[in-house]
Amino acid sequence: MTTTTPPATSRAAVTATATGAPRAAHRWRRRSARRRSTPLTIVMLAVLAYFLLPLFWLAMASTKSTQDLFDSFGLWFSHAPQLFENIRETLTHDDGIFLHWLLNTILYSVGSAVGAALLAAAAGYGFAKYRFRGNNAAFSLVLGAVMIPTTALAIPTYLLFAKADLVNTPWAIVLPSLVSPFGLYLMRIYAQDAVPDSILEAARIDGAGELRIFLQIALRLLAPGLVTVVLFTLVATWNNYFLPLIMLNDPRLYPVTVGLSSWASQAVGGGAGANSNMLALVVTGSLISLVPLVVAFLLLQRYWQSGLATGGVKQ
């Protein structure tokens, strides 16, 4: 029986590879350490504090009474924290009107978000996959609409809905929120790469109609972009204050933003229905209203990141 000895060159190559890998990793760590920027780190920490400090103040203020809001340090607990008492009083004040406002907000936001995402997906898919006369001109109008602030359209929208006898109804909040120029733009950019033309041609060859192709093929491929538009529209409608303020005059139809504003007015002006702890209820209600948004963001975060990244790729 004979044994073969590996050539010396092979042993040298193995040795070089074994010793070279740690050296390469060490060089990579050194380069990464050199790329760290102390001024950039300070700026990022300042930005983080800018966004988190108001939330921290809100959490601390929700544990205090109205008197403690003025007598204690804003970024720490008072001597007698009463978070659960504030929550109970917020949910039960005025026959539980806050819960009614919260349900109204969920209805307006979810309905607007789902509807706006589906309309943006259909329009973006059409702009991306069909060629027709005026395609670029129409899409340029969409890009121009992104620059128009929604508050500038509030009064014309009110006059239009007043003519249609839709003022002081949930439709006055949902219908204007269905139009999302930014969502259409994002879905057009996303559909351009996410829906391959070869799949569409194969489906047409198999005899599938255009509507069936969109509903059964394109929508599944556009799911990350859809979730991104849903999340953006959900947050925008949830935080919308000016449109419900001019469209609604029935307190039972108020969303959380307008409802808490009415409570704040009572707390400052001492109007009917106000009590000594009203300002604390406004702060606690603001904290409660943030919880659904945080939960929605955490659940949809990975879809939002992938959709936003794809939409940012230049064609």
Distance CA 292, CA 232 (A): 14
The answer to whether 161 touches 98, Cβ cutoff 8 Å, is no
Residue 312's pLDDT band (cuts 50, 70, 90): very low
pLDDT in tens, 32-89: 555 667 888 899 999 999 989 999 999 999 999 888 888 888 888 888 888 999 999 9
CA distances to 74, 123, 222, 284 from 310, rounded to whole Å, are: 41, 18, 11, 38
Provide the token pair at 308.
Answer: 């936003």
pLDDT in tens, 170-192: 999 999 999 888 899 999 998 98
On the question of pLDDT at 20 being above 70, the answer is: no
Question: DSSP of 200-242, one letter per residue?
Answer: HHHHHHTT--HHHHIIIIIHHHTHHHHHHHHHHHHHHHHT--H
Distance CA 314, CA 114 (A): 27
Residue 313 DSSP symbol:
S
Percent with pLDDT over 70 in the chain = 83
Residue 278's pLDDT band (cuts 50, 70, 90): confident
pLDDT in tens, 213-259: 999 999 999 988 898 899 989 999 999 999 999 999 999 999 999 99
What local confidence, expressed as pLDDT, does residue 268 receive? 81
Higher pLDDT, 31 or 153: 153
On the question of pLDDT at 98 being above 80, the answer is: yes
Provide the token pair at 79.
Answer: 């001597």
Residue 72 DSSP symbol:
S
Q: Which of 15-50 are b and which e, b meaning 16 or more Cβ less than 10 Å from the residue's Cβ?
A: eeeeeeeeeeeeeeeeeeeeeeeeeeeeeeeeeeee
On the question of pLDDT at 13 being above 70, the answer is: no
What local confidence, expressed as pLDDT, does residue 80 receive? 82
Three-state DSSP at 238 gives helix
Q: Give CATH superfamily name and number for 95-311.
A: MetI-like (1.10.3720.10)
Phi and psi dihedrals of 63, rounded to 5? -95, 5
Provide the token pair at 55.
Answer: 């939330």
